[in-house]
Structure 1
């Protein structure tokens, strides 16, 4: 329902990463609560995770690790710090190598090559608020693996308003990550078998 001229919108309080961590420290957010901070909003992650979702994450991680070896570190469902208002936990983050590099911080946008989300029930969030947040943070390439339609949404050319390029690939299409053009991936390699 549209807001009339006489109604006012209530301002939304946006949380910072510091607020988010403090809420966890004092017990407002418990360690077993499936949440992440996206663009200043605490978003509940879908749970429980289904087996196709878990299988797709594992297939994607192994594919990238096997083909990129020492060139990258592949992190799964671990935080990345995009800004002082965003600390999502993407399904897969391909980042600069050396696990000890991240001893005192989560990867920042300048250390991230590619972020991948696996969507079974989260497609709108992944292609909406998350895509805008990743683009605003200058993540050069963002993929959303749509399990239901067996497609890959590829987002490139980030701007503060969102990604300028989005292409949708079918399961038999191939893609090369921008940072690793020598690697050709068939979308079906990331998908659980039918």
Structure 2
């Protein structure tokens, strides 16, 4: 059977759809004007408005436990922000579960913390381990975040990402809950991993 050439789809003649990327200012205007409502759980990642996962009880409990513990450990040296935005660049304003940032006398009233003000970012994963590793880790590495941890609620272990490069983290390790760890920024402060989990 013979088919005319014009019935065969040619890959080089297919049109590619261009995605319109949003910057941080446009994203804020969408929030201010109600295009995105306050109760919609979204974040700006690489110019796209991405829905955030629902917080299941294990996720919420671990976030509370870990943030309370870190607040006690780092009381005099850093601020611990919980599920608040950070601004990585013009196109990314994610809301990590925990951000350990420089102390700011005005509590960041005029801006969200930027990479040069961030000591550590933590994501809590019960259903989001894959996206926290494959989407968030490259995003944070590209922004130069030196220390990124994922608390794996299901396995009670922690993924540690360090040595950021443009394409991802050079160092990745998994520690069990009986281990201890220090932040790169505060090597003298020992974090008991089991204290991060409820």
Q: Same fold by TM-score, threshold 0.5 exceeded? A: yes
Matched, 1:36 2:53: no
Give how far 1:15 is off.
1.2
CA distance in 2, matches of 1:99, 1:39: 30
Matches within 5 A, 1:28-177: 28-47=35-54, 49-98=55-104, 100-177=106-183
CA distance in 2, matches of 1:101, 1:173: 32
TM-score by length of 1: 0.92
Partners of 1:117 and 1:144 within 8 A in 2: yes
Q: Deviations over 1:125-174 (max 9, x none)?
A: 11111111111111111101111121111111111111111111112122
SS in 2 for 1:69: coil
Give how far 1:101 is off.
4.5
- The partner residue of 2:17 within 5, 10, 23 is 10
Matches within 5 A, 1:175-194: 175-192=181-198
Q: Which has more radius of gyration?
A: 2
Partner of 2:6: none
Provide runs of 4+ in structure 1 moved above 2 Å. Answer: 3-9
TM-score by length of 2: 0.90
CA distance in 2, matches of 1:108, 1:161: 19
Partners of 1:73 and 1:99 within 8 A in 2: no
Q: RMSD across aligned C-alpha pairs, in angstroms?
A: 1.5
SS in 1 for 2:72: helix
Unaligned runs of 5+ in 1: none
- The partner residue of 1:21 within 18, 28, 36 is 28
CA distance in 1, matches of 2:11, 2:105: 53
Give how far 1:107 is off.
0.5
Give how far 1:99 is off.
5.2
Give how far 1:7 is off.
3.2
